[in-house]
Amino acid sequence: MIIEGRVFYRGSVRELYLFIDGGVIKDIRLSIDKSQSPNIRFMDRGNIILPGFIDIHVHLRDFEQAYKEDFYTGTASAAAGGVTVVFDMPNTVPRNNRLSILQYRDSVADKKSVVDYGLYYGLPPNLDELFGFEDIAIGMKVYPDDLHSYKIDHISDVMIYNHAKDIVTVFHAEEPDGYISGDDSPSIEREGIKYIAGYTKSIGLPTHITHVTCRSFIFDAKNIYTSLTVDSTPHHIMLSSEDLKYPYGRVRPPLRDRECVESLVKELNGLIDIYATDHAPHTWEEKMDGFNGFPGLETAYNVLATLYNKGVLSLNRIVELYSTNPAIRFKLDNILGYIEVGYLANLTVVDLYSSVRVDPTKFFSKAKHSPFDGMKLYGRVISTFVRGVEVYNGEDITVKPGYGVNIKSFKRGFK
């Protein structure tokens, strides 16, 4: 197949032809002889073809929480948001922190997913459990409660193992007691981040802190330990605690005040390395009961496009935050994060300018609610390609459940 259109290529948008075969970009040309090329997919000049988005923080639930979301609905939600690879979090029921569960989860994901996926595992109770994780997992997630349940030396041992196997350790950094008691004050996060920065510096292992909510926290963290990377979410970047009444906008870490939000937005061009949704679906009844989190995949690109239209973000930076930097951080940048010959043909085709009114009843996610409900945002996902196959055509999912694969197995096969 050949895709013709305006392509984001090496930092600028150019009219190009992408030759795709076997899921891989085989050639990139400025012109072709159309009489010799029957199989051309033309993308409207008003749209731009980007390296496929990669979301490193998504809760696909399934297992006993399939009533909230499952691998099909969660990855369909990703496809509709232009996301070509999602990394699934391990706070599942049962918890994904043993090899047998990780293997089982991989088999469920493999049968149901429509985009590619990576799997995090949760901190395992003992070191013997670790062997074999590296064949399946892309990362390990440490929650504040883990700091209560496990000795810090155990966490260090697991992190050393992870580091040797190219598994990224990701921290939810809130001070454990405050987190468990549901304390909403910013100091809970500030203290949590300082602790993780100091701790990871002491063991000398590069680490990632997810969903950071205020500039000063990132500044502190990177000041303590330069080998830290961080991500921030669409909701923490665009919504403040004043915008939303609880329980509607309840999330962990909580939404912050306007000053924090404004400081954070600026860091999209500075200290923030990665953009990630923390897509965390719950039923409406659960939300009313005060559960933390909400779906984010189907509005994430709109938030970026809105910031683009406000002049806050360049197209270059959107691609870095939501494609290239995730690929680099998780050592997938030999196959993902760029449109280049030899790379997977994961492509997100977008319109930057049209406006949308957020309507969660239309979500592919099982969670039909959103903190952005009713807001006017910009941008539209026109089409999502995973390994050269269109999985979303702007309206529907166009592949069967099971098309998506574990990106880790693919990476192995590719080397």
Binding site for ligand DOR (CB under 6 A): 59, 91, 172, 251-252, 280, 292-293
Instruction: Determine the 3-state secondary structure of 95 from DSSP.
Output: coil
Q: Which two tokens stand for residue 51?
A: 């390296």
Of 173 and 327, which has the nearer Cβ to ligand DOR? Answer: 173
**170: which strand partners?**
141, 208
CB of 309 to ligand DOR, least distance (A): 28
Residue 231 and residue 245: Cα distance in Å, rounded?
Answer: 25
Catalytic residue among 278, 351, 359, 373: 278
CB of 66 to Zn ion, least distance (A): 18
Window 219-258: contact mask with Zn ion (x via CB under 5 A): ----------------------------------------
292 contact choice in ligand DOR, Zn ion, none (CB below 5 to 8 Å, kind-dependent): ligand DOR
Residue 262 and residue 267: Cα distance in Å, rounded?
Answer: 9
CB 277 within 8 A of CB 296: yes
Q: Which residue is nearest to Zn ion (CB)?
A: 278
91 contact choice in ligand DOR, Zn ion, none (CB below 5 to 8 Å, kind-dependent): ligand DOR
Q: What is the rounded end-to-end Cα distance, in angstroms, of the chain?
A: 24
Of 175 and 278, which has the nearer Cβ to Zn ion? Answer: 278
- Compute the Cα dihedral for 158, 162, 163, 164 and give only its sign: positive
Of the CA atoms within 13 Å of residue 407, those in its CB half-sphere come to 32
CB of 297 to Zn ion, least distance (A): 13
252 contact choice in Zn ion, ligand DOR, none (CB below 5 to 8 Å, kind-dependent): ligand DOR
- Site residues for Zn ion, 276-335, by CB under 5 A, read 278
Residue 253 and residue 172: Cα distance in Å, rounded?
Answer: 9
251 contact choice in ligand DOR, Zn ion, none (CB below 5 to 8 Å, kind-dependent): ligand DOR
Question: Does the annotation mark 243 as catalytic?
Answer: no
Residue ranges of E strands in 172-242: 207-209, 228-232
CB of 257 to Zn ion, least distance (A): 22
Of 267 and 278, which has the nearer Cβ to Zn ion? Answer: 278
Residue ranges of E strands in 10-127: 12-21, 24-29, 40-42, 48-51, 53-58, 83-88, 116-122
Of 269 and 292, which has the nearer Cβ to ligand DOR? Answer: 292
| Binding residues for Zn ion (CB under 5 A) | 278
Residues designated as active site: 278
